[in-house]
Chains A and B, each alone.
Chain A
Amino acid sequence: MKVAVAGKGGSGKTTIAGTLARVMAGRGVPVVAIDDDSNPNLALTVGIGRESASGLPPLPRDLLEERPNADGTTRLELSISAEDFIDRYGRAAHENLTLLVLGQPSHGGSG
């Protein structure tokens, strides 16, 4: 099952996404929670403290490969499998639950 959670800032979407991930993981299903928000706060709601969440390894750009589409355009795809990616860059948040933070602000701005 692939669920995405959207909402305005302050709507509580992150609390709902994180708690949902914890509950589902608690049902014995392996879950990956992906933080795609540019203001990452999912770590907290899945049970990882703010400090350890900020220690996550940065995601290297060369993991993406350009591949051609049938219509002549190109798309970017992962050069390693999703499972390898999650194992390598994810953070164990709880039993059956891995957190992946994608939305780190790019450097150059202070955020």
Chain B
Amino acid sequence: MLNGLVATTSRLTIVDLEAGLEHLSRGTARHVETLLVVGEPYFKSLEAAGRSTALARDLGLADIQMVANKVRSARDEESMRDYAARHGIPVAGIVPYDEAVISADERGVALIEHQPDAPSVTAIRRLADDLLGARPSPGSPR
């Protein structure tokens, strides 16, 4: 079902995949242009992101990028960039750790409505612009 939808809709499509990529079919993968793998700055999460990336590569996905989430410090960012570089995964964006995400969730409202100028939202806006090509991609030379 997902396959048919992603293959034929003309709309910009964003799929929130099931955790883990075990259920992602080759058919669906063929129509996904960009896979964003979200990882957190700790070893197990990075390992999981690395596994997802390997699986997605096996499925034939060409454009796989990592989004670092819940980044608390320059050291966090560095460790994620380091992991990504060692595994040849481009980093699409860095989203900071943000209390606004927790308070939006507690209130049961959308983060972007709860606090439109939250640091996490600002980072996701930047990511969106990069993906839409409004800004030079982070991987390209400046």
Contacts and interface: CB of A to CB of B under 8 A. Distances in A.
Interface of A: 1-9, 11-24, 27, 29-38, 42, 44-47, 49-50, 59, 63-64, 75-78, 81-83, 85-86, 98, 100, 102-103
Contacts of A86: 5, 9, 11
B54 interface: no
Contact of B16 (A2, A5, A64, A78): A5
Interface SS majority for chain A: mixed
- 4 tightest A-B CB contacts, nearest first: A7-B38, A78-B4, A82-B9, A82-B8
Instruction: Point out which of B5, B45, B105 has the most chain A C-beta atoms below 10 A from its C-beta.
Output: B5
Contacts of B67: 5, 16
Contacts, number: 213
A36 B5 CA distance: 12
Contacts of B15: 2-5, 17, 33-34, 36
Interface stretch (B28-36, B74-82, B83-91): B28-36
A7 B39 contact: yes
A11 B20 CA distance: 11
A20 B127 contact: yes
A47 to B, nearest CB: 4
Contacts of A4: 14-15, 17, 24, 28, 32, 34-36
Contacts of A11: 19, 38-40, 45, 69
Interface string B27-65: 110011111111110000100110010001000000000
A24 B11 contact: no
Nearest to B70: A12
A19 B49 CA distance: 20
B44 to A, nearest CB: 8
Contact of A5 (B1, B17, B70, B108): B17
B110 A31 contact: no
Contacts of B14: 3-5, 17, 20-21, 24, 31-34
